[in-house]
A and B are shown apart, each in its own frame.
Chain A
């Protein structure tokens, strides 16, 4: 099944540099409590974390 992927994210992923910035913003920025930003085609996007789940092999307990 396809995972949810915003059309603007798809656009960023097509550009290697933008994809790297996106990952930096997500990992180094949003994950550490900040809202990371990425700019592509003159538009700036704010990336923020919604919710985190720690997932172990016991998948049933996660829900």
Chain B
């Protein structure tokens, strides 16, 4: 019996563990969910596979009263081609059951993997142990997962600097989707409601300056009960300058390859509905 057959047979035995691991690491942003070249991945798949098979044997022998032909499984794993030890009649009898058993175990492995991922994410166990991190660091950044769970994110604003023929350009838009490449790097960003401006047309040029040239720190509206005249003027000033500085990109989606991005700025925003009386104060 060839080594290749033994490898295929071992792969089949590992398959519930592979399904469990893939389900746990599942992220829609990945084109490939895991790096199969890593020995650690094989070990992390071996343990759940061994547990699933141990439990499977208990159920098959204890509940159904079927005898598992361990000797034949052993000969198939070691690739023993001796026809005196391989019992094809036994293999033939158990073949259909073995396939059904594997399909069930793969399904169970996948389901439990997803369930385990949900538990880890729900109870934020991924912040307690590195081994329990199911996602790539980009996922944590671009979903805002690493932020305080109480701060409910309304949307994420992305600014990217891209080289243009007349100098650097800033594209600013709301992140809708992102994709990671095979090597676990950021591949593409899907932005909506995108505005563009030249990098050199920074706020300096449009900075609000009443009498003093020095820019005063701008307190947030919530932090200041006295939203004085000067603050209001500043606020209005930036609104008015918006159209001069920014060009609204036509189209519904703006897709940008991360390989073209020089630098990226991520801002997380919250959105809260305000009562009409409060709104009039703003």
Q: Is there contact, CB below 8 Å, between A24 and B269?
A: no
Chain A residues near B179 (CB-CB < 8 A): 1
B164, chain A: closest CB distance, angstroms: 19
B158, chain A: closest CB distance, angstroms: 9
A24, chain B: closest CB distance, angstroms: 5
Complex Cα distance, B157 from A46, in Å, reads 15
Complex Cα distance, B240 from A24, in Å, reads 9
Q: How many A-B residue pairs have CB under 8 A?
A: 163
B193 touches which of A8, A20, A53 (Cβ 8 Å)? A20
The A interface, classified by DSSP as helix, strand, loop or mixed, is mixed
Q: Considering only CB atoms, which chain A residue lies closest to B137 in the complex?
A: A63
Q: Is there contact, CB below 8 Å, between A47 and B271?
A: yes
Chain B residues near A60 (CB-CB < 8 A): 137
Give the residues from 31 to 50 in chain A that come closer than 8 angstroms, CB to CB, to chain B.
Answer: 31-35, 37, 39, 43-50
Q: Would you call B156 an interface residue if the criterion is a C-beta within 8 Å of the partner chain's C-beta atoms?
A: yes
Q: Considering only CB atoms, which chain B residue lies closest to A30 in the complex?
A: B269
Chain B residues near A48 (CB-CB < 8 A): 220, 222, 269-270, 272
Size bin of chain A's contact surface: 35 or more
Chain B residues near A29 (CB-CB < 8 A): 235, 238-239
Complex Cα distance, B274 from A41, in Å, reads 13
B239 touches which of A24, A35, A59 (Cβ 8 Å)? A24
Complex Cα distance, B89 from A5, in Å, reads 59
Q: Considering only CB atoms, which chain B residue lies closest to A51 in the complex?
A: B268
Chain B residues near A35 (CB-CB < 8 A): 220-222, 282
Q: Would you call B118 an interface residue if the criterion is a C-beta within 8 Å of the partner chain's C-beta atoms?
A: no
Number of B positions contacting A (CB below 8 A): 62
Q: Is there contact, CB below 8 Å, between B174 and A55?
A: no
Chain B residues near A57 (CB-CB < 8 A): 263
Q: Considering only CB atoms, which chain B residue lies closest to A54 in the complex?
A: B265
A61, chain B: closest CB distance, angstroms: 10
Q: Considering only CB atoms, which chain A residue lies closest to B180 in the complex?
A: A1
Q: Is there contact, CB below 8 Å, between A4 and B234?
A: no
Q: Is there contact, CB below 8 Å, between B147 and A1?
A: no
B137 touches which of A4, A33, A62 (Cβ 8 Å)? A62
Q: Would you call B14 an interface residue if the criterion is a C-beta within 8 Å of the partner chain's C-beta atoms?
A: no
Q: Is there contact, CB below 8 Å, between B186 and A59?
A: yes
A2 touches which of B28, B153, B220, B276 (Cβ 8 Å)? B28
Give the residues from 241 to 282 in chain B that come closer than 8 angstroms, CB to CB, to chain A.
Answer: 241-242, 246, 248, 263-274, 276, 279, 282
Give the residues from 195 to 232 in chain B that come closer than 8 angstroms, CB to CB, to chain A.
Answer: 195, 217-222, 231
B252, chain A: closest CB distance, angstroms: 9
Q: Is there contact, CB below 8 Å, between A1 and B267?
A: no
Q: Would you call B146 an interface residue if the criterion is a C-beta within 8 Å of the partner chain's C-beta atoms?
A: yes
Q: Is there contact, CB below 8 Å, between A55 and B175?
A: no
A residues lining the B interface (CB < 8 Å) = 1-6, 8-9, 13, 19-20, 22-24, 26-35, 37, 39, 43-57, 59-60, 62-63
Residue contacts A-B, CB under 8 angstroms, 6 given: A1-B29, A1-B139, A27-B242, A28-B239, A51-B151, A63-B137
Top-3 shortest CB links A-B = A1-B29, A33-B218, A44-B279
